[in-house]
Chains A and B, each alone.
Chain A
């Protein structure tokens, strides 16, 4: 029982970790929590679904198409809306992402309605392998592997590529980065594209487990935030770990305490972490000046 709960917790946790990563990447560069993240991922997943089922393309083509769409969507939000805000403060930036969230939610409900669809995926959720007393499906294993691979690639990206290093420089000090010849605006656009694509991966991995409808990402969005807050909104590693911890904790709570109230664990964790260690478990504390 315990092992089973932990194993499936880790598999869910990797989805939360992906969403948290996508948010933290944005938060570090733009200092705004992207409330549109979930809906951006949801729409990208719907694009993949349309390419796959309605137009009958292969998995590879559809997924690549969805990624291109996700990247374009991220750049669109940054370029068309966020960059236009006159003397932006944090409240107005949050409101813009919320507005974008509503536009996307409305468009998706308008186009695809409230019908629940099954998202086909090359890896099955029903074939399982036994791991001691626990059972794990191929899909869960695929989720876990894809997440780990993606994290490793992100690590390499931030460590060894020019764009990745420029992104880190922009996060640390935008002004100094610009003086050193980095086009921070372009880097910002690329950051949004990257984050949106990571979110899209999460959406596409979640859709085969859940059913695909416009509400797909509402709750995972909150879980992603909880994971990011738990690990610290300013560290990539912390956010990923936060996702796994949240997944496991939530599953254990569901298994041993109460299945009904499983979904308030995320909220409780947010509140507890914010009360006792506001900067998260794995981030340095930061004090604001007047």
Chain B
């Protein structure tokens, strides 16, 4: 919208005083939020922050680099199990374990990125799908990972602070999410980010311009997997208990749905997508408690479907949302936001 006159204007984090004002307001509200909200909502906000991390990471891969991944639940699982096992078996401190968990996930992402060099579109989707399923299988069968029974998550302490409530966890999760989002946003303004976008627009053209495809495609996978791994590590502490069935194929599609809903190729969109969809997901889990709609759905299930299976309605709704967005609004919430903004800026024209 506004013209950028030189490079430094382009890479600025926030380009006007108004934006700085809102940015500071955002930080202030994030800090005061946990003291105002009830406990369940804190849990929900933590969940949102974790999903936002995954969504931003996945968006780097899908939205910016144009590579599809149907195996992000696999990286999420690697991060979760990696962090927990490093803490219980090797007694790593929390932050170090979290970063190592993320790096292990990134390493797997790098490995998975290697075949991606030769693949595109459908083949890549199939290979990543296979990866996600293979990870869940291995974790479920191997005793080191607790098998089908899963693992107990150790107590969390950060230096002198012991963190055992959702409210304390909030500060850890939200701080990490904030830093990672900032990092992603800055990454996209650098040489690396521009290389990713060039690969998305046409990988052959990018290669002729001197973009090293091997390096940048595997890097995109690794960065994206790192985000998923860190989010997985945090998720383990949110749940307090992890088992393989949490990280199934459906979860990978949920992550993809977050990205689509937020808008491909937009960090701000990913934040919106993660927040809105997590809210929707947690609400739909208890859909029968909703006013009006809940009662209608229960009676509908009673006569046509099955009341016990009602929470599965979230799959149906997520699926429909994916389809409808792809057909009608490929840019997702971000596209919607941009159009609303332009509409009001130019009103009444």
Contact = CB atoms under 8 A, between A and B. Distances in A.
Interface of A: 27, 31-33, 35, 81, 84-86, 90-92, 94-96, 98-107, 109-114, 218-219, 222, 225-226, 229, 233, 260-261, 263-264, 266-268, 270-271, 274-275, 278, 288, 290
Interface stretch (B25-33, B123-131, B153-161): B123-131
Interface stretch (B174-182, B223-231, B272-280, B322-330): B322-330
- A-B pairs, 7 with minimum CB distance: A106-B315, A102-B319, A99-B322, A103-B319, A106-B316, A267-B130, A109-B312
Contact of B319 (A32, A106, A113, A278): A106
A252 to B, nearest CB: 18
A264 B260 CA distance: 29
B17 to A, nearest CB: 39
Nearest to A97: B323
Interface in B296-322: 301, 304-306, 308-310, 312-322
A220 to B, nearest CB: 11
A81 B327 contact: yes
Interface SS majority for chain B? helix
23 contacts: A90-B121, A91-B68, A95-B260, A95-B326, A96-B323, A96-B327, A99-B321, A99-B322, A99-B326, A101-B253, A102-B316, A105-B315, A105-B319, A106-B314, A107-B316, A109-B309, A110-B312, A218-B133, A219-B133, A261-B137, A263-B137, A274-B123, A275-B115
A290 B306 contact: no
Interface string B125-148: 111011101100110011000000
Contact of A27 (B122, B130, B134): B122
Nearest to B321: A99
Contacts of B250: 102, 105
Contacts of B304: 111
Given A100-B323, A106-B319, A263-B133, 6 more contacts: A85-B327, A222-B133, A260-B141, A267-B133, A290-B202, A290-B205
Given A218-B249, A274-B123, A98 B137 contact: no
B327 A86 contact: yes
A128 B109 CA distance: 46
A229 B127 CA distance: 10
A106 B305 contact: no
Contact of A113 (B126, B308, B321): B308
Contacts of B202: 290
Contact of B316 (A27, A31, A103, A268): A103
A92 B326 contact: yes
Nearest to B310: A110
A222 B327 contact: no
B296 to A, nearest CB: 15
B204 interface: yes
A113 B312 CA distance: 9
A85 B326 CA distance: 7
A113 to B, nearest CB: 4
A33 B318 CA distance: 20
Contacts of A103: 315-316, 319-320, 323
Contacts of A268: 134
Given A110-B301, A260-B141, A261-B141, A225 B316 contact: no
Contacts of A218: 133, 249
Contacts of B320: 99, 103
B256 interface: yes
Nearest to B138: A264
